[in-house]
Chain A
Amino acid sequence: MSHRPETEAELAQLVRDLPGPVSVRGGATRAGPAAGPEIRTGGLSGVVLYEPAALTLVVRAGTPLSQVEAVLAAEGQRLPFEPGDWRAVLGTEGTSTIGGVVAENASGPRRVQAGACRDSLIGVRFIDGRGDVIANGGRVMKNVTGYDLVKLMAGSRGRVGVLTELSFKVQPIAPAQATVIVDVPVGAAPAVLSAALGSPFDVTGAAWVAGQGALLRVEGLPGSVAYRSKELQNLLSALGAARIEDDAAIWTAVRDVAPLAGLPGDLWRFHLRPSQAGAVAARIGGAVMLDWGGGCLWARVPRGVDARAIAAPFDGHARRMSGTGLAPADPPEPQAVARITDGLRAAFDPRGIFSGDADADVLYP
């Protein structure tokens, strides 16, 4: 049974009337199609408000990401957090929605400078498990009025409620960009990336890709980009051969984790201390990609292998993004954290409507 409400009020009524658990899907690009009853958010679509001069966009949750990006690009603006297209690397289909991006807190290379999706998100409306419409935050970028449920919803992956409307702080597209490429192996990459990120040259991308090396992006006005890329090249030359490229496609590939697409095995993503990325990459072996200065490590490992166990010890979190191995997709939370998480979910969803597949190990394929 698939429900596709056209309005927020219809969705609220639907949730109130639901007899039991349901799966929520935006474009189903990450979790794949649901096994049981599902709510599709695609009917809740369209821009509610866009004020380019205030850098503010309000949009309904089922709006395709591509449409959001096109609306912004027409005014020379963009989402600061650079969400990726993970269909190829996950081996999925469908059309990404902005609500799905928020539910996953999906963030690309610019996170290292502009923050994650949750940092650009300034307001939400959602339907909780009681079928109540709840609004939090708003359309202004500085707002500390009441608790920040905006952050609670970002990355909540459908476990607290269904998002219906989202407000973002957006940013102008930089007129110029350049990438400094330093030819180093993965083990040496975190030191290069940290040196760049610890410099005053305002790096907006810091990745490592096999066959290319450490990648450092600067963006801004043309003169400034020329100056900073040159300074970075000088700074990093001591650590490896460094050259400057201006091909923006380098960052589309990093954003989409393209270097790991089409390879066999399970896909894992680590959030970790950047300085530990080299050692973790060595322990995992195989195909890896670093982003966020080494704070994010993507790895392709043989099917069923527990990459989390192999990578240990490290400080952070590892999630299996695809595959159905023996290891859980997410590690169990510490007891005190789990108690709060369970309490919040019970508070927002006392009937367990959103426990459909949000907890199940359904990551695709």
Chain B
Amino acid sequence: MEMPPPDPAILSRKDQIVAGLRAILPADAVIDDPVETRAYECDALSAYRCPPLAVVLPRSTAEVAAALRFCHEQRVPVVPRGAGTSLAGGSMPTADSVVLGVARMTSVLEVDYADRFIRVEAGRTNLSVTGAVESAGFFYAPDPSSQLACAISGNIAMNSGGAHCLKYGVTTNNLLGVTLVQMDGTVVTLGGPFTESGGLDLLGLVCGSEGQLGVVTEATLRILPKPEGARPVLIAFSANDIAGACVADIIRAGILPVAIEFMDRPCIRATEAFAQAGYPDCEALLIVEVEGSAPEIDEQIALIRQIAARHTPIEFREARSEDEARRIWLGRKAAFGAMGQINDYMCLDGTIPVSALPEVLRRIGELSREAGLEVANVFHAGDGNMHPLILYNANTPGDLERCERLGAEILKLCVEVGGCLTGEHGVGVEKRDLMRVQFRPADLEAQMRVKDVFDPRWLLNPAKVFPLDASAARRAA
């Protein structure tokens, strides 16, 4: 993975740029000490690192606007950062860039239970949005697995999903409005606590634009009443394609579970060794969670049991207590940690049509054998969002490169069967150079024209999303 070489003219002006930022921001909002800026050298895609020129940590929309306006005048690239949990390198800096972090902007600005929304500063973490409303019986639905740490600003930038989006949708379906600061410092309000604003859906366009169109400083989010209860079942199968067929039948039957999670044998084996959740010895297992009151849950699970029986499961395990429910989820929730215990791993998140599941799993198995690297699969089966985990050893020379090549092959396979490169993590730098696998030149050009409108100088998070050669002329202009 390459990044554009830093602009020597900017590097040589570092002192002047930092002094300029200090003149318009509070003293503690500007960091340029090389030891301190190192904390911002990467996000959760930690294989790639580069300390930025400086870091600014504003406390208000006005300070964000001032910092952006200054960088715009000085033609200094800006890399926006929420909590730095991107798995795609979405907030990875370059040496000539200023990182603009919104982590100090965490306030709750307004809560309205009658109109069912919350307005927050965008640096607030995902889980603490729910934390602010749960005493009244409400929650914020999108639940990326990093929800303890990740910021709403990053969720909006990547249009984050989560395990429960089969029922509740992803960020864009739960976002009502934003305050957006454009690169030239213009502050724009899009949407609000109502369904539509007339005009083009600019809010929908900004959500998922990976911090390239503006910096979101405030967000109005839909909140939902918590269901009365939830209960998971675990269904074990002797083959991946049988589990896949069972998923299809559950969906067709008109039950809308809140989550359908799938784990294959390599993943089950690793998590068992790590978490001892007591999973059955099987090729594939599903965790299906349904919500409602106790009798409603019984009604749905009875139907799921009936459907599963047609696929001769090895085991159908229904949680009969809180503790049993916890044990069913234990292995799934420990999966990533378990993998990290054994090996370094790379987590992909391509999405495929649910119908292609058996074929894709078989071909991932073939690719894995060819590459000589093990792949474990754990994913959101209801919506086809795969999470193949490629295991490698970072200390073995050449292993990372082999891993990346295998990852690229798997993502190409996802596109080939009708899916996409990324279902919830975003493109960032990680999948940037694969974009042509999914998009024709005219499709990419159309997207880059959108950036031209919001950020004509291409200063905001410029070396992301689009293949470097595709965006080169724009970045150089």
Give, as a whole number of angstroms, the nearest-CB distance from A82 to chain B: 14
Give, as a whole number of angstroms, the nearest-CB distance from A170 to chain B: 11
Contact of A341 with B421 at beta-carbon distance under 8 Å, contacts A54-B355, A142-B380 already known: no
Q: Interface on chain A toward B: helix, strand, loop, or mixed SS?
A: mixed
Contact of A143 with B351 at beta-carbon distance under 8 Å, contacts A53-B252, A138-B419, A224-B292 already known: yes
A116 to B172, CA, bound (A): 12
Cβ–Cβ contact A334 & B296, under 8 A: no
Stretch at the interface among B53-61, B157-165, B366-374: B157-165
Residues of B within 8 A of A138 (CB): 418-420, 438
Q: Which of A101-139 contact B (CB under 8 A)?
A: 105, 111, 115-116, 118-119, 128, 132-136, 138-139
Contact of A344 with B115 at beta-carbon distance under 8 Å, contacts A134-B442, A143-B423, A271-B194 already known: no
Residues of A within 8 A of B424 (CB): 142, 144
B199 interface residue per 8 A CB criterion: yes
Give, as a whole number of angstroms, the nearest-CB distance from A355 to chain B: 14
Residues of A within 8 A of B438 (CB): 138, 145-146
Cβ–Cβ contact B442 & A132, under 8 A: yes
B462 interface residue per 8 A CB criterion: no
Choose from A119, A319, A343 the contact partner of B453 (Cβ within 8 Å).
A343
Cβ–Cβ contact A295 & B225, under 8 A: no
Q: Which of A271-286 contact B (CB under 8 A)?
A: 271-275
Cβ–Cβ contact B453 & A148, under 8 A: no
Give, as a whole number of angstroms, the nearest-CB distance from A84 to chain B: 15
Residues of B within 8 A of A331 (CB): 198
Contact of A105 with B196 at beta-carbon distance under 8 Å, contacts A144-B208, A146-B435 already known: yes
Q: How many A-B residue pairs have CB under 8 A?
A: 261
Residues of A within 8 A of B452 (CB): 343, 347
Residues of B within 8 A of A18 (CB): none
Residues of B within 8 A of A73 (CB): none
B151 interface residue per 8 A CB criterion: no
A298 interface residue per 8 A CB criterion: no
Cβ–Cβ contact A146 & B114, under 8 A: no
Cβ–Cβ contact B115 & A341, under 8 A: no
Stretch at the interface among B25-33, B392-400, B425-433: B425-433
Cβ–Cβ contact A221 & B199, under 8 A: no
Residues of A within 8 A of B12 (CB): none
A9 interface residue per 8 A CB criterion: no
Give, as a whole number of angstroms, the nearest-CB distance from B178 to chain A: 12
- A71-83: CB near B (< 8 Å → 1, else 0) gives 0000010000000
- B209-253: CB near A (< 8 Å → 1, else 0) gives 100000000000000011110000000000000000000110111
A11 interface residue per 8 A CB criterion: no
- Count contacts on B: residues with CB < 8 A to the other chain: 94
Contact of A147 with B208 at beta-carbon distance under 8 Å, contacts A171-B256, A334-B189 already known: yes
Cβ–Cβ contact A275 & B115, under 8 A: yes
Residues of A within 8 A of B91 (CB): none
Choose from B204, B227, B293 the contact partner of A154 (Cβ within 8 Å).
B204
Choose from B189, B208, B383 the contact partner of A140 (Cβ within 8 Å).
B383
B207 interface residue per 8 A CB criterion: yes
Cβ–Cβ contact B353 & A271, under 8 A: no
A173 interface residue per 8 A CB criterion: yes
Choose from B192, B196, B207, B256 the contact partner of A148 (Cβ within 8 Å).
B207
Q: Closest residue of chain A to B88, judged by CB?
A: A144
A333 to B201, CA, bound (A): 13
Cβ–Cβ contact A315 & B385, under 8 A: no
Cβ–Cβ contact A316 & B453, under 8 A: no
Choose from B295, B423, B465 the contact partner of A227 (Cβ within 8 Å).
B295
Cβ–Cβ contact A140 & B194, under 8 A: no
Residues of A within 8 A of B228 (CB): 200
Q: Which of B443-470 contact A (CB under 8 A)?
A: 443-447, 449-454, 465
Choose from A142, A151, A339 the contact partner of B204 (Cβ within 8 Å).
A151
Stretch at the interface among A19-27, A35-43, A190-198: A190-198
B473 interface residue per 8 A CB criterion: no
Choose from A155, A197, A199, A224 the contact partner of B196 (Cβ within 8 Å).
A155
Cβ–Cβ contact B449 & A347, under 8 A: yes
Contact of A76 with B195 at beta-carbon distance under 8 Å, contacts A142-B385, A337-B188 already known: no
Cβ–Cβ contact A340 & B423, under 8 A: no
Residues of chain A at the chain B interface (Cβ within 8 Å): 51-56, 76, 105, 111, 115-116, 118-119, 128, 132-136, 138-152, 154-156, 159-160, 171-175, 190-191, 194, 197-200, 202, 220-221, 223-224, 227-228, 271-275, 292, 295-296, 315-317, 319, 330-331, 333-334, 336-337, 339-341, 343-344, 347-348
Return 5 A-B CB contacts under 8 Å, by A number.
Answer: A152-B205, A224-B296, A317-B198, A336-B182, A344-B200
* Additional pairs, 11, CB under 8 Å, beyond known A138-B438, A151-B203: A52-B252, A53-B355, A134-B446, A146-B443, A152-B202, A198-B113, A223-B299, A227-B295, A333-B198, A340-B188, A343-B453
Q: Which 9 A-B pairs have the closest CB atoms?
A: A151-B204, A172-B254, A343-B453, A142-B423, A53-B248, A316-B194, A347-B449, A224-B296, A140-B351
